[in-house]
Amino acid sequence: MNTPICTTLAIALIGASALAQAQTGGAVLSERNVSLALANQIAAATVAACSANGHNVTATVVDRAGNVRAVQRADSAGPHTLEASRLKAYTSASARNTTLAMMEASQKNPAAANLKDIPGYLLLGGGVPVRAGNEVIGAVGVGGAPGGHLDEQCAMAALEQVKAALQ
């Protein structure tokens, strides 16, 4: 190969590599995530909050990638609540938003109506992101109360109980 061409190619490759590192900040990412201990606390506090209001629910907590970390199911919660809570948690973690807000947006905004077609998404109230500061580190999904707004209230009450751990 011609030396000037080799030199030009080498310079181009080095430049592309430097640009890629500058854009990503390096090759390794550091991310915060919900721990098993915290996931168990959130799930238990969520079920307790709903039980105090007479609602038999299941609470599922997922990590930032939507993988299940903890599940708690009240003694009389229906079998459908397991999958509903998991899907709500997954949807919330994925979108980094509450599922109630997503449901309302999809009903009011025709451009958002197709959110329901994303595989694994469940647009019913009861999915709430778990945030450490402004960073979403997971989500909790609740199923079983007579209305998604009530599921969401239980999740919010649980997150309020553990807010010191999320600092």
- For 93-119, the pLDDT digits (tens) are 999 999 999 999 999 999 999 999 999
Strands across the sheet containing 68-73: 68-73, 58-63, 135-143, 127-132
Same domain, 53 and 16: no
For position 72, what pLDDT does the model report?
A: 98
**Could you tell me the two tokens for 137?**
């580190």
Residue 54, domain CATH:
3.30.450.150
Let me know: does 158 contact 42? Beta carbons within 8 Å.
yes
Same domain, 11 and 66: no
Q: Report the C-alpha gap between 69 and 50 in whole angstroms.
A: 20
Q: Report the C-alpha gap between 57 and 108 in whole angstroms.
A: 28
Enclosing domain of residue 6: 1-29
